[in-house]
């Protein structure tokens, strides 16, 4: 558009208007902030998704207690350590399914953050026993689900965001 205005103003139909643009380089500080923001978004979303795993686990444990399914199995001859080991193994295996899917998705989208893989692999081994311990604090599965979700949400995604804010403040 400017070229046609200048052609008319100069009276030269062969006038060429050329612009050379050389933007300033992006400072390293801005790139680091962009990476940190991407990491906090990843941490919040994944933390929110993984918060649902212990919520589901505590529900099943308390349902079994309310309906006395554990009592029925113990009367039938199952030992108490076998009951808890079987539940623990099945819950850990079920917890690894979303963790592995999250790892695959982060690989597909090239979200490589140092130390995340170790945390992903250790997460089910840590969250299942802690959920079992939390289950003894409650009588109702609804209250347990809400409480466990709130606790894990508070220390998972929100805790990561607080750490990011505290590190950003000089």
Q: In this predicted model, what pLDDT tens digit does every residue of 118-160 receive, in sequence order?
A: 989 999 999 999 999 999 999 888 899 999 999 998 888 888 7
Residue 99 in any domain: the answer is: yes
Question: How is residue 11 written in tokens?
Answer: 């009276």
Q: Is residue 50 part of a domain?
A: yes
118 is in which domain, residue-wise? 27-168
**Domain count across the chain:** 1
- The answer as to whether 53 is a domain residue is yes
Q: Is residue 34 assigned to a domain? A: yes
> Which of 81-90, 95-104, 106-115 is least confident?
106-115
Within 10 angstroms of residue 139's Cβ, the number of other Cβ atoms is 9
Q: pTM above the 0.95 mark?
A: no
Q: Mean pLDDT across the stretch 67-87?
A: 88
Residue 94 lies in a domain: yes
Mean pLDDT for 92-109 is 92
pLDDT at 2 > cutoff 80: no
108 falls within a domain: yes
Per the prediction, the chain carries an average pLDDT of 86
pLDDT value, residue 124:
95
Assigned domain for 98 exists: yes
pLDDT at residue number 20: 83
Residue 1: predicted pLDDT? 65
Confirm whether 49 is domain-assigned: yes
Does residue 26 register a pLDDT over 80? Answer: no
* CB-count exposure of residue 130 (10 Å: 0-12, 13-18, 19+): middle
Q: Which long-range contacts (CB under 8 A, 24 or more apart) does 151-155 make?
A: 152/50, 152/51, 152/54, 152/55, 152/127, 153/47, 153/48, 153/51
């Amino acid at each position: 558009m400017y070229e046609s205005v200048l052609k008319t103003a100069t009276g030269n139909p062969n006038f060429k208007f050329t612009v050379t643009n050389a933007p300033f380089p992006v400072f390293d500080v801005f790139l680091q902030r962009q990476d940190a923001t991407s990491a906090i978004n990843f941490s919040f979303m994944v933390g929110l998704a993984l918060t649902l795993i212990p919520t589901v686990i505590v529900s099943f444990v308390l349902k079994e207690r309310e309906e006395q399914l554990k009592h029925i199995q113990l009367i039938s001859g199952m030992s108490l350590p076998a009951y808890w080991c079987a539940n623990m193994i099945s819950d850990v295996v079920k917890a690894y399914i979303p963790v592995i899917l999250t790892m695959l998705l982060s690989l597909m989208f090239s979200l490589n953050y140092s130390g995340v893989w170790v945390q992903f692999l250790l997460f089910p081994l840590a969250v299942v026993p802690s959920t079992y311990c939390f289950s003894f604090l409650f009588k109702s599965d609804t209250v347990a689900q809400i409480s466990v979700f709130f606790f894990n949400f508070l220390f998972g995604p929100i805790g990561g965001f607080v750490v990011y804010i505290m590190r950003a403040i000089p």
